[in-house]
């Protein structure tokens, strides 16, 4: 993925989210919930931050194949761009489809499907581990002779296209939807209803699903989310939740054969002695309730303001990390992960969130001093860390009691 194109698009993402929020305010469809949206964006943050480190391996692997094993060198012309775009989308279809159909791969992709809402913030909810399971799907392009730079540009464009289809504000799009992926097609993909599961895997084009038998039209409004709801707004747990599920299932398996089958069969697979593959049951829309934690208005205000500060710091890091050394990158990464983790736990109304806020703030004080004594980090980023610390100091004495009261209701 071309990090520069994606990062440069961040302001556009939030501008469009703002437009959708305004639309939602006007039509009163309740497309957004505060903590769900913050969790979505936080998962995107953890994916982007981890990508700073993972790309050293994933992009380098593609480049090694291209530099040493390519059959030919494809020129950088407009018609080869079209061929490359079709090739990237075709391989994306298979990487995406197998991420749904192979339990191990699902561990990386499930994060994108955990939200029980469907809006533009869901597009930002990405799995930090997904790239580790799918990067090699694109090696045929490297072997064919498509340069690393061309591949990264096309992949970024393919990813950016998929942002706008995460909305309920756009209805059906006749003619266009026969070839291209649309909000209607992708709403089906995010549905947890039995008829919608594992359908419409295309990125830009929907034709792959029509050709390979995975297309499903949108007949009625989907119920969004996964079959076993996550029931937390903690983005750090969201990234690793399926690995814990696999670990629990491992203990039930007998022998390497069952463990192998558990990893490579569809999610929900179990041996016949344990009842076989779990059947996805229909949803009673009158009974189903989305996960939510009751948080006071004052606490929500604190979470939101801290989140805006953290988002600014994260954006600053992503825009400037190319000029940082590895020590600075690691320190920023730890602080950002502590931030989204603490705010996620506070969104769940858990007492441990208050303790993690202490840890985050103490660490923030430490790196703030370190950055001031070791120039190189833009001063405005350090200033935002300082504002976050000041807000915490002013917040803690006044509403600590409220945090503990709310946490007692949830724990």
Q: Domain residues of the chain, as ranges? A: 3-212, 297-410
pLDDT tens figures, 121-154: 999 999 999 999 999 999 999 999 999 999 999 9
pLDDT score at 407: 53
Residue 29 sits at φ, ψ, to 5 deg, of: -95, -10
pLDDT score at 383: 94
| Mean pLDDT of all residues in 88-114 | 98
The 8-class DSSP code of residue 287 comes to T
| Mean pLDDT of all residues in 5-14 | 87
The tally of CA atoms less than 13 A away on the side-chain side of residue 258 is: 15
For the chain, percent of residues with pLDDT exceeding 70: 95
* pLDDT tops 50 at residue 394: yes
pLDDT score at 408: 53
Structure tokens at 238: 């969201």
pLDDT tens figures, 263-273: 999 999 999 99
pLDDT score at 298: 86
Structure tokens at 392: 């915490």
292 Cβ partners below 8 Å, 6+ apart? 33, 35
pLDDT tens figures, 242-286: 999 999 999 999 999 999 999 999 999 999 999 998 888 777 766
Structure tokens at 9: 């698009």
| Mean pLDDT of all residues in 206-218 | 98
Rounded distance between C-alpha atoms, residue 58 and residue 61, angstroms: 5
CB count within 10 Å of CB 19 equals 12
**Mean pLDDT, rounded, of the chain:** 92
pLDDT score at 2: 43
| Mean pLDDT of all residues in 15-21 | 97
End-to-end CA, the chain: 40
pLDDT score at 1: 37
Which stretch of 91-105, 115-129, 194-208, 291-305 has the lowest confidence by average pLDDT?
291-305
375 Cβ partners below 8 Å, 6+ apart? none
Q: How confident is the model at residue 295 (pLDDT cuts 50, 70, 90)?
A: confident
Which stretch of 31-35, 210-214, 279-283 has the lowest confidence by average pLDDT?
279-283
Residue 181 near residue 204, CB atoms below 8 Å: yes
| Mean pLDDT of all residues in 2-31 | 88
pLDDT tens figures, 321-352: 988 999 999 999 999 999 999 999 999 988 88
pLDDT score at 3: 47
Residue 257 near residue 367, CB atoms below 8 Å: no
* pLDDT tops 60 at residue 377: yes
Structure tokens at 228: 């076993």
The 8-class DSSP code of residue 405 comes to H
Rounded distance between C-alpha atoms, residue 261 and residue 103, angstroms: 9
pLDDT score at 5: 79
pLDDT score at 262: 97
Alpha helices in 162-234, H assignment, sequence order = 176-179, 183-189, 207-212
Q: How confident is the model at residue 402 (pLDDT cuts 50, 70, 90)?
A: low
Q: How confident is the model at residue 76 (pLDDT cuts 50, 70, 90)?
A: confident
* pLDDT tops 60 at residue 215: yes
The tally of CA atoms less than 13 A away on the side-chain side of residue 292 is: 12
């Amino acid at each position: 993925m071309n990090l520069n194109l994606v990062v440069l698009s961040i302001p556009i993402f939030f501008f469009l989210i703002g437009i959708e929020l305004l639309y939602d305010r006007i039509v009163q469809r309740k497309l957004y919930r505060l903590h769900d949206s913050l969790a979505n964006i936080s998962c995107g943050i953890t994916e982007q931050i981890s990508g700073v480190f993972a790309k050293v391996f994933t992009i380098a692997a593609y480049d090694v194949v291209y530099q040493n094993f390519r059959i030919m060198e494809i020129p950088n012309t407009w018609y080869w761009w079209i061929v490359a775009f079709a090739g990237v989308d075709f391989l994306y279809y298979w990487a995406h489809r197998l991420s749904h159909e192979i339990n191990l791969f699902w561990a990386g992709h499930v994060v994108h499907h955990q939200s029980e809402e469907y809006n533009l913030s869901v597009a930002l909810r990405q799995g930090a581990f997904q790239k580790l399971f799918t990067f090699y799907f694109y090696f045929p392009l490297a072997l064919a002779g498509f340069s690393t730079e061309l591949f990264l540009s096309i992949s970024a464009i393919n990813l950016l296209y998929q942002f706008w289809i995460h909305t309920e504000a756009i209805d059906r799009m006749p003619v266009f939807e026969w070839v291209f992926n649309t909000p209607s097609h992708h709403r089906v993909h995010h549905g947890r209803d039995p008829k919608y599961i594992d359908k419409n895997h295309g990125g830009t084009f929907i034709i792959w699903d029509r050709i390979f038998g995975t297309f499903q039209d949108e007949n009625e409004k989907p119920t969004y989310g996964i079959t076993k709801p996550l029931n937390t707004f903690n983005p750090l747990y969201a990234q690793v939740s399926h690995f814990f599920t696999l670990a629990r299932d491992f203990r039930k398996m007998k022998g390497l054969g069952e463990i192998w089958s558990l990893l490579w069969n569809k999610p929900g697979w179990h041996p016949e002695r344990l009842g076989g593959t779990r059947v996805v049951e229909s949803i009673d829309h009158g009974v189903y309730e989305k996960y939510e934690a009751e948080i006071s208005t004052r606490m929500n205000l604190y979470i939101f303001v801290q989140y805006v500060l953290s988002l600014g710091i994260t954006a600053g890091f992503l825009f400037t990390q190319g000029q940082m050394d590895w020590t600075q990158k690691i320190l920023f990464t730890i602080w950002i992960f502590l931030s989204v983790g603490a705010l996620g736990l506070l969104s769940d109304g858990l007492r441990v969130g208050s303790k993690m806020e202490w840890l985050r703030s103490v660490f923030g004080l430490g790196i703030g001093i370190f950055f001031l004594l070791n120039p190189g980090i833009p001063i405005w980023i350090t200033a935002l860390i300082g504002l976050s610390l000041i807000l915490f100091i002013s917040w803690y004495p006044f509403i600590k009691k409220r945090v503990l009261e709310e946490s007692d209701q949830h724990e």
